Amino acid sequence: MQPNNDTWISEFFLLGLSEEPELQPLIFGLFLSMYLITVFGNLLIILAVSSDSHLHTPMYFFLTNLSFVDICVTSTTIPNIVINIQTQSKVITYAGCITQMYFFIIFSGMDIYLLSVMAYDRFVAICHPLQYMVIMNPQLCGLLLLVSCIANILHSLLQISIMLQLSFCKEVEISHFFCELNHMIQLACSDTFLNNMVMYSAALLMGGGPFAGILYSYSKIVSSILGISSAQGKYKAFSICASHLSVVSLFFCSGLGVYLSSAAPQSSHTSAVASVMYTVVTPMLNPFIYSLRNRDIKRALKRFFGVPVM
């Protein structure tokens, strides 16, 4: 896997969120704690759902896969920056950078897709409750997950294959805490027209498409909720939708904003902070917003740890 470089580049330098030495212990502690919370919280979701047969439903099937993908997203970026701060090294090899981009594109794309599928699942459950188990059958759920995997693997292979054609003619410093696609394209010294076209087209298709699906699903959900006569029922349904939409908004606004704003002059520090929101904060919030407030998940966790269920 050798790039088409005029001068062979064997390594890059990740500058991180800040180069101030006194801030490194704080950044180290924040990243490490957020990573541990993300992994532990999402693993609890997976264990709770897997151990309770009552939770073997389409909604929890997608939730466990979202939890797994969230662990993978953070694991492609956070351990590297934590190790770099601990060893006081900013170096990442070319092969390591390409590998990080490859897996990050796959898992972040699956994150977006699963968020849209979960919105569709809620749309069917609320708007077509009597047909829910017929529509959201195991075959369809498995097919949706398989399509997500294949589509994002092919997308990642496409982005990486054209990235390998770029030339980096000098030692490159990356003003970020991981190798993000648009940052790498901006640092290249060869023509990046094709890379930019593919990146923006993919952002529109792979990000804009699912986001439009989420908006459509929730517009139908809101219409159905407005028809509920009980005020308490409306409040509960709206609060659940608001929580999900807040995470979706955080993820899409920060994630797509990083890529789409690269066409305009922008601070690299601002872009890096935005990336933290959708690569670290959103996966960390997943257990709290989607599951730990859920009575079924709480009961499943109590059974798993042997705590009496009231």
Query: What is residue 198's predicted lDDT score, i.e. its pLDDT?
Result: 93
pLDDT at 171 over 70: no
Instruction: Compute the mean pLDDT over every residue in the chain, rounded to the nearest whole number.
Output: 84
The model's pLDDT over 136-161, given as tens digits with 9 standing for 90+, comes to 999 999 999 999 999 999 999 999 99
Residues 12-305: name the CATH superfamily: Rhodopsin 7-helix transmembrane proteins (1.20.1070.10)
158 and 205 Cβ atoms separated by less than 8 Å: no
Q: Which of 150-164, 230-244, 288-302 has the lowest mean pLDDT?
A: 230-244
Query: What is residue 139's predicted lDDT score, i.e. its pLDDT?
Result: 95
Query: What is residue 269's predicted lDDT score, i.e. its pLDDT?
Result: 64
Q: How confident is the model at residue 107 (pLDDT cuts 50, 70, 90)?
A: very high
pLDDT at 5 over 50: no
The model's pLDDT over 30-66, given as tens digits with 9 standing for 90+, comes to 999 999 999 999 999 899 899 888 889 998 899 899 9
Q: How confident is the model at residue 98 (pLDDT cuts 50, 70, 90)?
A: very high
Q: Which of 32-41, 217-226, 228-237 has the lowest mean pLDDT?
A: 228-237
pLDDT at 226 over 60: yes
Share above pLDDT 90 across residues of the chain, in percent, rounded to a whole number: 36
Q: How confident is the model at residue 11 (pLDDT cuts 50, 70, 90)?
A: confident
Burial of 62 (0-12, 13-18, 19+ CB in 10 A): buried
In this prediction the pTM is 0.89
Query: What is residue 3's predicted lDDT score, i.e. its pLDDT?
Result: 52
Q: Which of 162-171, 180-189, 243-252 has the lowest mean pLDDT?
A: 243-252
pLDDT at 264 over 70: no
Q: Which of 93-107, 170-184, 259-273, 275-289 has the lowest mean pLDDT?
A: 259-273
Distances (CA, A) of 107 to 79, 149, 269: 16, 9, 23
CA–CA separation, 299 and 297 (whole Å): 5
Query: What is residue 237's predicted lDDT score, i.e. its pLDDT?
Result: 67
CA–CA separation, 120 and 136 (whole Å): 10
Q: ∠ at Cα 120 (35, 260), nearest 5°?
A: 60
Q: How confident is the model at residue 243 (pLDDT cuts 50, 70, 90)?
A: low
pLDDT at 77 over 50: yes
Query: What is residue 40's predicted lDDT score, i.e. its pLDDT?
Result: 94
Burial of 145 (0-12, 13-18, 19+ CB in 10 A): middle
The domain segmentation of the chain, as residue ranges, is 12-305
Supply the Cα-derived Rg of the chain in whole angstroms. 21
Query: What is residue 287's predicted lDDT score, i.e. its pLDDT?
Result: 84
Q: What is the arithmetic mean of pLDDT over 278-305? A: 80
Edge-to-edge, what's the strand order for the sheet holding 172-174? 91-93, 11-14, 172-174
* Residue 259 or 98, more confident: 98
Q: Which of 110-114, 210-214, 261-265, 300-304 has the lowest mean pLDDT?
A: 261-265
pLDDT at 201 over 80: yes
Task: Please give the torsion angle defined by the CA atoms of residues 170, 176, 178 and 184, in that order, rounded to the nearest 10 degrees.
Answer: -40
